[in-house]
Each structure stands twice: as C-alpha cells, then as structure tokens.
Structure 1
Amino acid sequence: MRADRLIAVLLLLQRRGRVTAAQVAAELEISERTARRDLEALGLAGVPVYSSRGRGGGWALVGGARTDLTGLTQPEAQALFLTAGRSDTAAGRAGLRKLLAALPSAWQAEAERAAGAVLVDTASWGGPPEPDPPCLAALLRAVVDGEQVELSYRGPAGSSSRAASPLGLVSKDGRWYLLAGTAAGERTFRLDRVTATRPLDVPVQRPEGFDLRRAWERRRGEFERDRHVERTGVLVDPGLLPRLRTLLGHRLVEGAPVADDGRVPVQVLGPVPEVVALELAGFGARAEVTDPAGRAQLRRLAAELASLYGPGPGAG
C-alpha cells in the first residue's frame, strides 16, 4: 500500500533529517524511482518537504530534523491522514498510530477524524468503476470538520432534502457512499445521487463509539441480502487461494474440508452463479465452478471462444 510507504518516508525524514532517494529506496526496499515519486507525493499532499542538489543534498523537511511533526500545519496533517487513512492493512494502521502519537495533542482529534473519514472496501461486487462525484470533496470536508450538511438527494422514490450528520465515506467498486445520521436514524447515501450540499454550521451528532468499518460491514450485509446474493460452489487449487482472498475479500467463504484431489471447496458470493462463473473464467482449471448454471455459462463461453479463435496449435 502506498499510504503505508508515505508514512514510513515521513518518519524516516523526521528521524534522519535529510535523506536521498537512494537511502529511502534501500530502507524501504523499493526502487529509487518509486522512492522519488513518494517524496514528491508528500510535497503534493502539502507536507513541507524540499529537495536540494549537489554534495550533501537530498530531501528534508522545512526547518531541519525534528523528533515530532510540529513542522506540519494543521491542514497539512489532515491532508496526510486523509491519504494514509485509506490503507486497509495492519501495517498501515500501525503506522497511523505512530504518526498520530507524534502530532501536537491539540491536533490529534482532528487527525483521527481525517484518518477515519474514508474506508476503501476492496472486495468487488462486479460493478464498473465510476468517476468521483462532484460532491465528494465537500462531504469529505464535512466529515473531517464534523459539520452537518443539507443534502439534496435523488432517490428511487424521488428527490428530497434533509439535514444529515456525515459520519464517514466508503469507496466500493469505484462508487462512493456516505454514512450519515439523520432525524430518521443512520442512513447510507450514494454520492452519485447527491445533487447538492449546503453546510449548516451545526456540529455533527456522532453516535458514541461509532466505527466506520463496523457500520459499513453491517450496511454491506443488508445490501447483499437486498441484492439476493447467492453462493456458488468452486473447487480451487490451493495455490490460487491467496489471490482469491485478495480479489474477493468477504465474498470468498472458506471452511469446507479439502477434497480427495487436494483442491479446496469454497463458496463465492455473487448476484447469480453465471456472473461468478464469468468472473472466475480467467483462472481456467485452477478454479472449477461446480454449480450447474455456472458450468453451462462457461461451456457457452468456451464454445464462443473456440469459434472465434479456432483450435489451438497441434489440434487434430
């Protein structure tokens, strides 16, 4: 995750005072080109980092070496935490905790809100990615600032406006969702249906103990039940499992005993077996769909590809 590296690069700058791209590359086990891009990314995010050429040159933070992050302004710290907060790894979360501890105490509450403002759900529902909606920046700022907004929303039942307390934003398959408190309780809004936002200059009413990840997992389960998500049986080569775990996330259901031939029976959540079968077709024999509807879909696909490309080399 790049966010993990940005935190590591910043902490390295704090510890050493001045570093070269080669030193960053050696420390983080990345290429010099990647190290240089990460250093430049810190500058673009608003971190006061600069480079100097010649003997004794390198990259440093404005003001020289420090043992804390007081060289950052409050908006710069928020920008960094918004970027790093999208990391979904244990290492990234550990890095955020270390970085948070180095901030001035007066900034820590807002930095925590920035880090927890956005969640990226990497498990796919199979939908195409979409461009960021125009209201994303305003709602992100409302989450971080803890300010209520008036949402103009175009829903299935028509258009409406309501006051909302933005609690967090989730990116799923390139589509953005806002979790917010309303007079009718906690609600989830698709950002591509938000037609306008207006700040209300009223503090957000945040439920005690609210956790964006847990709240989204609950809402995601409701969405999947509404979408009539089915389970498709698949026999998987054990070597393919790590890749499927990354690709499918919570949609991959394990736990069945290993088959006699060494393959691992799993279930894959999806709207219909045919969609899951097409999703796994690229893995060939390493992922055998056992559901009859999915197998029929794959036979049709195989016949279509054979007709288009002809028999392979050496075919009789």
Structure 2
Amino acid sequence: MRADRLVAVLLFLQSRGRVTAAEVAAELEVSERTARRDLEALATAGIPVYAQRGRGGGWALVGGARTDLTGLNAAEVRALFLVAGPSAAGPELRVALRKLVRALPAPLRPDAEAAARATVADGTDWTDTPLGAATQRAALQQAVLDGVQVRLGYARPGRTADERLVHPLGLADKAGVDYLVANTEAGLRTFRIGRVTSVRPTGDPVIRPEGFDLATAWRSLTGRMADRMRAATVLARAEAGAEPVLRGLLDGRLRILRTLPDGRLEIEVDGPSPEVVAAQLAGFGARVEILEPPRARERLARLAAELATLYGPPAPTSSLPPRAGSD
C-alpha cells in the first residue's frame, strides 16, 4: 500500500508544483506525520524532492522535474489493456495506448503488452451488418463533440428512410449495439445507429435540456423501453428441451413457473403485446402451447390459417369425366 501511496504523492506534487504536508495529508486521507514521512521517503529514494522551510514554504520537485509514472498498478494496467487493447481499438485509441505503454514503468510494460494481445473485438453482428454503420457512428460522435445539430436519415424496420432534425447529445452502447441519444421536437429520443442512413450537420448549435446528464437520461429512456417490453404477459406450456432456445430468444422476459407431471414446463413470457409474444413463439410450433390470454391464441390461429393457405397442399382436382348433356 505504501508504494501506491508514494506514487500518489509524486503525482500530486507534479500536478500542484508545491505542496505542504497538510495538503498531502488531506489529499491522501492520512496524518500529517505520515505525509511528511512519505515526502522524506521520496527524497531518500533519489526523487528530486526538496523542502523549503518557513512562511510560504512546502515541498516541490527540483526544477519542475517530472516522471513517466502513471500511478497505475499492475492489476490496473492489465484491466485497462484487456478492455481496450490495441487489437480491439480504433486508430486514435491504438496510438494513445502505445504512448501509455511507453509511459509505464519498465516492470509493468510486459503485462500491458501481454494483456493487449489477449483479446480481440469484432463489432460485426452475424445477423445484421448495416453498410456504413461505422461511418455514421463517427459522424454522429463528431456532431456530439462539436455540439451541432444534424439532419438524420433514419429507417425503421419495414419502412423507408425519412429525415429529421435532431440535437445529438451523446452515444450509448447497449449490449454491443450503438445508440444515439438526441433531443427532438418530441423530447429526448434514442436512435439505433445501425438504422441511420445519413448524417448532415447543419452548423447550428445543439440545444441541450437544462441540467442534462447523459447517464441519467439513458437510464430514464431505457427504463421506459423496458416497461413497454413487459406490458403484456402470456402463459404457456413448453417442452423441456425448448428451454435453452427460449432463454436465448427471450432472455429476462421468460419465467419458468413449474414442471408439469408430463415433463413440460409452465412458463410466462413478457412482451409489448400478446400478439407480439404469440408471433415470437409461433416458430416453436407444437413445442410451445399458448394458454392465455385469448388474444395471443387468436393471433396464433390467424397465423396458422395464413400459413396453411400459403404453404398447404393444393386442393385436389376431380378425376370424374364431365357429365353428358341432356337432349
């Protein structure tokens, strides 16, 4: 612990230029006696720290000397490079991490380099690879940093793209999916970046809601979405073997109530509406039987009729000879 504290004292000296033992004690939450011992230990270790006595005195680095120490310990270095190693980063972050490696004390560099090689990130979704998503994300990120409004081309599933004026306030990552948080005429909204078709900055400044905080706004917006995703509950029976697939599809919206005598599971599934849940479960066929509400069962019956009409066998044609006409 003392080694970490000495590094903290050194960094505090670098940032403040001149400090008193009382200021060091307050910063590190230790006694003045401990702070004075730490300052003396730095000087004994060969760090160019000197004390100036009298009024206006204190401790300072000789000639404003600086060190390459970052204040990171070995565990912190490993964690940082595992999360954002060069193999997982964009060009700017790769450059920044290379600089950080050079700034680290020599004993910590091998750990950092090993951690950087230990992970790789692939942002490509197997099922959805929107062209230009990275370009749109970069443009939106720049608009957030510049604080300018943009005309956003946006295409919802099954609809043609339209354009709207938005005030970009921040970006959010939800389970690997990027979203833009923006102010609009209708209030704060989120836009999935994979659905953005164009970004045209207007040059006009963004209007931020008073007291806006991105983290707070994101929690509020996602909370509303979570409520909509659980507006309805469907009761069903499912084959036990279907449970892993159901969990993968429904995640936290699936609840196993009990195991029935015949081995099937009684389950509840939440969703935005009974009809939507029914459509999600339709692909399981007879492996999942919806019990209630009636709206969900009626939706499945309509789906079954539509599919039978579209894919069912053609109606048989009569093989009897035509009847002879009468005189």
Select the structure of larger CA radius of gyration: 2
| TM-score bracket, shorter-length normalisation | 0.3 to 0.5
Give the structure, 1 or 2, with the largest relative contact order (CA under 8 Å, sep 6 or more): 1
TM, length-normalised to structure 2: 0.43
